[in-house]
Amino acid sequence: MQILACFKVVPDLDQMPAGDWLVDDRFRVETGYVKNMLNPYDESALEITLRYADQARRGNLPLNLTALTIGSKQADTYLKTLYALRYDKAVRVASDRDIRFLPEIAAAVISEYAAEKNRADVLIMGMQSGVGDNAKTPLLTAEYLNWPCITGVVAIEPANNGTKNLLKVKSMVDSGILEQTVRPPLVLAVSNAPGTYLRVPTLKDKVEYGKKPVEVQEMDNFKTGLAAANTSGGCRLTGLKPINHRREGLIIDGETAAEKARILYHSYLRERLGKL
């Protein structure tokens, strides 16, 4: 099974001070001074893939894992960690283009890589990422490849002992879990998948596997990506501004926690609770 897991490195936006949400005339926001992180949905996708790999290796099933990201050199640290976690190949499509609101480009590059360079059976990635919040990339990738897509994925495992290259996919649907045996190729989109924080590599694996060079591909070499760049998917960003979440924020003072609770209750909550 050839699995291509795609991820994005994003700024930890929850660390941005409230007053620093400044948007310039090209709708850019300076986020470079906050630490970056794996997009949480992508992090789950990477870990779900590793859990599949654990099972596939135990069953001696053929397996090849590739991790792919689009972006700048800052992603290389994460790619090397993925090598240490036993991903076979770590690829970065180098680009400094502003594709925050152009998921069509990301989807075109991923689908071209999957079809022509990687021959992937399964593509897995997060459903959306903060910054653009487009919620389109896995869906468009499936459409560009003419592959089916399963959203809300929380786990994958080999099916039928892996003999027929089949997958068992668990996904959250409505208010339950859908478990399907499926035949690749297909695209899997991950959203909230509890308990799927990315594992930490051992020091031994870091030394043994984590030093392989990251494969860098230039985005200009992706012809479909460039063609897609000439369109905007029919949507043009025409404005970007901070959302005001501010309320009164009245701080209740007191000598002790219990005293503060009493003031809160007697002065503000009792009457309100009485009306419920």
Partner 1 sequence: MTYALVLNGCSKTYPDQAKALTGFRDAFLAGFPQGKTIIIFNEEEKKQSLINASATVLVELIKVERYQPETVLTALQNLEHESCRDFYLFPGDQAGSELSVRFASRMGGSSLANIYSLEAGAGSPVCRRAAYNNYLEAEFSLDRKPYCLSLQKGFSAHTGKEKPKPPEMKVIEHNAKELNSNKAGTGINGTGAPDDSFVLDYKYTESDETTNLESARFILAAGRGVKNRSGLEKVEKTAAAIGAEVGVSRPVAMNAWAPLSKLIGVSGHMTGPELCITAGISGAAAFYAGIEKSACIAAINTDPGAPIIRSSDLAIIDDYEPVLEELERLIMENKRIEGEDR
Residues 191-210 that bind partner 1 (CB under 8 A): 191-192, 194-197
Asked whether 185 and 122 are in contact (CB, 8 A), the reply is: yes
| Sign of the Cα pseudo-torsion (154, 8, 38, 245, in order) | negative
Residue the block writes with tokens 């660390």? 15
Compute the least distance from the CB of residue 206 to partner 1, in Å. Answer: 25
Size of residue set near partner 1 by CB under 8 A: 84
Compute the least distance from the CB of residue 227 to partner 1, in Å. Answer: 12
Asked whether 110 and 71 are in contact (CB, 8 A), the reply is: no
CA distances to 59, 115, 127, 151, 166 from 34, rounded to whole Å, are 42, 35, 23, 30, 42
Q: Applying CB under 8 A, which part among 54-62, 87-95, 208-216, 233-241 lies near partner 1?
A: 233-241
Which residue in 73, 97, 183, 204 binds partner 1 (CB under 8 A)?
A: 183
In the range 44-83, which residues lie near partner 1 by CB under 8 A? none
Compute the least distance from the CB of residue 244 to partner 1, in Å. Answer: 10
Which residue in 34, 115, 178, 226 binds partner 1 (CB under 8 A)?
A: 178
In the range 100-139, which residues lie near partner 1 by CB under 8 A? 101, 130-136, 139
DSSP state at residue 29: B
Does 18 bind partner 1 (CB under 8 A)? Our answer is yes
Does 32 bind partner 1 (CB under 8 A)? Our answer is no
Q: Is 31 left (phi over 0), alpha (psi -120 to 50) or beta?
A: alpha
Residues 22, 235: Cα–Cα separation, whole Å: 23
In Å, the largest CA–CA distance within the chain is 68
Compute the least distance from the CB of residue 2 to partner 1, in Å. Answer: 16
DSSP state at residue 220: G
Mask of contacts with partner 1, 138-177, x by CB under 8 A?
Answer: -xx-xxx-xxxx-xx-------------x-----xxxxxx
**φ, ψ at 247 (rounded to 5°):** -120, -170
Residues 44, 11: Cα–Cα separation, whole Å: 17
Compute the least distance from the CB of residue 13 to partner 1, in Å. Answer: 5
Compute the least distance from the CB of residue 209 to partner 1, in Å. Answer: 27
Mask of contacts with partner 1, 236-255, x by CB under 8 A?
Answer: xxxxxxxx-xxxxxxxx---
Which residue in 29, 34, 94, 115 binds partner 1 (CB under 8 A)?
A: 29
User: By three-state DSSP, how is residue 173 classified?
Assistant: strand
